[in-house]
Amino acid sequence: MKTLRGIQKNNFLVMGRVGMDLFPDPPGMDIEHATTLNVDMGGSSANIAAGIVKLGGKAALLTCVSDDAVGRACTRMLKKYGIDDCYIRTVGGEARNSLALYESRVVDHQSVIYRNGAADFEMGIADVEAVDYSQFGALITAGTVFAAEPSRSAAFHAFTLARAAGLPIIFDVDYRPYSWPSPEIAADVLSRAGAMSDLIVGNDEEFGFMAGGVEKGLAQAKILAETTADLVIYKMGEKGAITFDGASAQRTGIYPVKALKPTGAGDSFMAGLLTGIADGLTLAQAILRGSACAAIVVGKPGCAPAMPYPADLEEFLANHPGPTDP
Q: Compute CA distances 133 → 10, 87, 137, 168, whole Å.
A: 14, 11, 8, 11
| Selection from 36, 71, 78, 22 nearest residue 263 by Cα | 22
User: What is the structure's pLDDT at 155?
Assistant: 98
DSSP 230: S
| Collapsed DSSP state (helix, strand, coil) of residue 307 | coil
User: What is the structure's pLDDT at 108?
Assistant: 96
- pTM tops 0.95: yes
- Cβ-proximal residues to 315 (8 Å cutoff; 6+ apart), any chain: none
Q: Compute CA distances 78 → 23, 31, 32, 102, 220, whole Å.
A: 18, 26, 29, 20, 35
Rounded CA-CA distance 68/86 in Å is 18
Q: Compute CA distances 273 → 144, 172, 198, 276, whole Å.
A: 20, 12, 15, 5
Name the amino acid, one letter, at 74.
C
Cα 233 to chain centroid, rounded: 13
What DSSP element (H or E) covers 244?
strand 241-245
User: What is the structure's pLDDT at 70?
Assistant: 97
- Cβ-proximal residues to 126 (8 Å cutoff; 6+ apart), any chain: none
- Cβ-proximal residues to 220 (8 Å cutoff; 6+ apart), any chain: 207, 208, 210, 211
User: What is the structure's pLDDT at 212?
Assistant: 87
Angle at which helix 183-195 crosses helix 151-164, to 10 degrees, equals 10
What DSSP element (H or E) covers 238?
none
| Domains annotated on the chain, with CATH | 2-14+45-61+124-310 (3.40.1190.20)
| Collapsed DSSP state (helix, strand, coil) of residue 270 | helix
Q: Is 271 exposed, middle or buried (0-12, 13-18, 19+ CB in 10 A)?
A: buried
User: What is the structure's pLDDT at 217?
Assistant: 94
Cis peptide before 326 (omega within 30 of 0): no
Mean pLDDT per 10-residue segment, the chain (326 residues):
94 98 97 98 98 98 98 98 98 96 97 95 98 98 97 98 98 93 94 97 93 91 96 95 92 96 96 98 96 98 98 98 93
| Selection from 223, 205, 224 nearest residue 214 by Cα | 205
Direct distance between the N- and C-terminal alpha carbons of the chain, in angstroms, rounded to an integer: 26
- Radius of gyration of the CA atoms of the chain, in A: 18
How is the beta sheet containing 99-102 ordered, strand by strand?
37-42, 19-24, 99-102, 111-114
Beta strand 84-91 with 241-245 is: unpaired
| Selection from 237, 238, 312, 215 nearest residue 272 by Cα | 312
Rounded CA-CA distance 117/219 in Å is 36
Sign of CA dihedral 85, 13, 174, 152: positive
